[in-house]
Homo-oligomer: A and B are copies of this chain.
């Protein structure tokens, strides 16, 4: 079998920055590298064209009676700047201590390599493994996966499977793997308020009209209750109750609220009653102001009444909130609360579906959970406990990976998200690195999980 560390080095050397068209060669290089590697272990590889970067679809086929797992990954990486902050060049991977440094080592080339090498090792050992495997590796993840849902819809019939396996989430420490069981969704929009048709002199006209910044502040201030909830009728209607096992599982993360508060550098937490900060970020939706602007923002003063002001707003959503239903509720509320002496304009931005999967054997596990998915979760639990020395934690996360919700919506498939990167891996930042011990254990865990899913372990 190939040496996964050497192969990861080769892979990282291709500067596959999807967002920057100057890196087209790096994108092609990374794509062809992965395609070649998968071909070398017996997969038949196809490139699915998109408007931007093709998606790699690599199959190991077999009888329909064999379970079918889709392994997701992405071959694109974040931009590397600021280059001056890197100790070694981002696309010249360097091993220092037990880590490999380079852009994409952790997000997502290293974790994907764990699965490719796990599959390679397993197939070498069991060439007759009764398991269908499809690698689905996109090249636009770091751009928000604009082509992904269209691809899923188009390839739906060829992506009939039992579940999706991926490693593109985080873990708190080297020996504590987390299986991510929930992701928040998103609904974003811009709100623009217009008062007068041009900026006005605040002396000559101040006092006759409502300043659009005032109107915007009034609308924005109405969107939360004093206790920290979102103040929009119906907003919480579809929010899943938090199960006791979820709180217990989270408590094992042994978070110290005071350390977290110091890390954030805030005076106080501001969470709705009944939720710790660790719970609030995972189990509750939010409405955040990502930006606000209007009028004069420079040094000193300018006594102007601006014509316009705007806010950029994002809602993080949890299961089972529907982003488009929330969009309607929020827009209706904003329109109702806008004073009638200004005009408002709402600009849609993107949205993402929240996601929740419940492992087998929990109080809220769906009765109709697929047997293969249940087997995969049990296999992951045993494999992780065996390889890492501790069973995984099953946690929902505060962040969003909208493609997981898309996969569920379009393909009807749940995802087994085995986290592999650490907080200190510096994702999206200079000196990104991946822990080679975790790479090794990830390979072993992937191999064992797939062997169990195939029913031969």
List A residues at the B interface (Cβ < 8 Å): 184, 186, 188, 195-198, 200-211, 213-214, 216-218, 220-224, 228, 260, 264-271, 277, 280-281, 284-286, 288-297, 300-306, 309-312, 314, 316, 339-343, 349-350, 397-400
Question: Are the CB atoms of B208 and A399 closer together than 8 Å?
Answer: no
* Beta-carbon contact of B290 and A295 below 8 Å: yes
Partner of A204, one of B222, B223, B266, B399: B399
Given A220-B217, A288-B305 in contact, is the A209-B350 Cβ separation under 8 Å?
Answer: no
* Chain B positions within 8 Å of A296 at CB level: 290-291, 312
The smallest C-beta distance from A228 to any residue of chain B, in angstroms, reads 7
A301, B289: Cβ atoms under 8 Å? no
Contact A314 B295 (CB under 8 A): no
Q: Which residues of B contact A220 (CB under 8 A)?
A: 213-214, 217, 221
Instruction: Jot down 14 A-B pairs with beta carbons below 8 A, ordered by A.
Output: A200-B264, A203-B400, A204-B399, A205-B281, A208-B260, A208-B264, A208-B277, A209-B270, A214-B288, A289-B295, A291-B297, A291-B302, A292-B295, A296-B312
Across the interface, do B206 and A228 meet the contact criterion of CB distance under 8 Å?
no
A265 touches B196 (CB 8 A): yes
A291 adjacent to B295 (CB under 8 Å): yes
| B349→A208 contact, CB < 8 A | no
Least CB distance, A424 to chain B, in whole angstroms: 15
* Distance of A297 Cα from B422 Cα, bound (Å): 31
A265→B297 contact, CB < 8 A: no
CB distance from A101 to the nearest CB of B (A): 22
Do A340 and B268 touch across chains, with their CB atoms under 8 A apart?
yes
Q: Which residues of B contact A213 (CB under 8 A)?
A: 220, 289, 291-292, 311
A409 to chain B, nearest CB (A): 19
Contacts of A222 in B (CB 8 A): 221
Q: Which residues of B contact A208 (CB under 8 A)?
A: 260, 264, 269-271, 277, 280-281
Query: A393 CB to closest chain B CB, in angstroms?
Result: 17
A305: shortest Cβ distance to chain B, in Å?
A: 6
Residue of B nearest to A269 (CB): B208
A291–B270 CB distance below 8 A: no
State whether A341 touches B270 (Cβ < 8 A).
yes
The smallest C-beta distance from A189 to any residue of chain B, in angstroms, reads 9
B207–A271 CB distance below 8 A: yes
CA distance A268 to B216 in the complex (A): 16
Give the chain B neighbours of A211 by CB distance below 8 A. 288-289
Taking a contact as CB atoms under 8 Å apart, the answer to whether A293 and B301 are in contact is: no
Bound: A400/B311 CA distance, A: 31
Complex contacts, A196 vs chain B, CB 8 Å: 264-266
A207 contact from B209, B280, B400, Cβ within 8 A: B280
**Are B228 and A203 closer than 8 Å at their CB atoms?**
no
Q: List the 10 closest pairs (A to B, CB-CB), nearest first.
A: A197-B265, A203-B399, A291-B295, A213-B289, A221-B221, A217-B220, A268-B341, A291-B296, A208-B277, A210-B270
Q: Is the CB of B301 within 8 A of A312?
A: yes
- Nearest-CB distance from A267 to chain B (Å)? 5
Closest partner residue, chain B, to A428 (CB atom): B201
Nearest CB of B to A276, in Å: 9
- B292 near A206 (CB under 8 angstroms)? no
Are B264 and A206 in contact (CB-based, < 8 A)?
Answer: no
- The chain B residue sitting closest to A228, CB to CB, is B210
Give Cα A349–Cα B340 distance, bound, in whole angstroms.
Answer: 32
In the complex, the answer to whether A314 meets B309 with C-beta atoms within 8 Å is: no
Complex CA distance for A309 and B290, rounded to whole angstroms: 10
Q: Complex formed: what's the CA distance from A195 to B205 in Å?
A: 34
Q: Which residues of B contact A292 (CB under 8 A)?
A: 213, 216-217, 292-295, 297, 309
Interface centre among A270, A271, A289 (most CB of B within 10 A): A289
Contact of A312 among B188, B260, B295 (CB under 8 A): B295
Bound CA span A434–B266, Å:
57
Residues of chain B contacted by A280 (CB below 8 angstroms): 207-208
Specify which of B197, B297, B305 is in contact with A293 (CB 8 Å cutoff).
B297
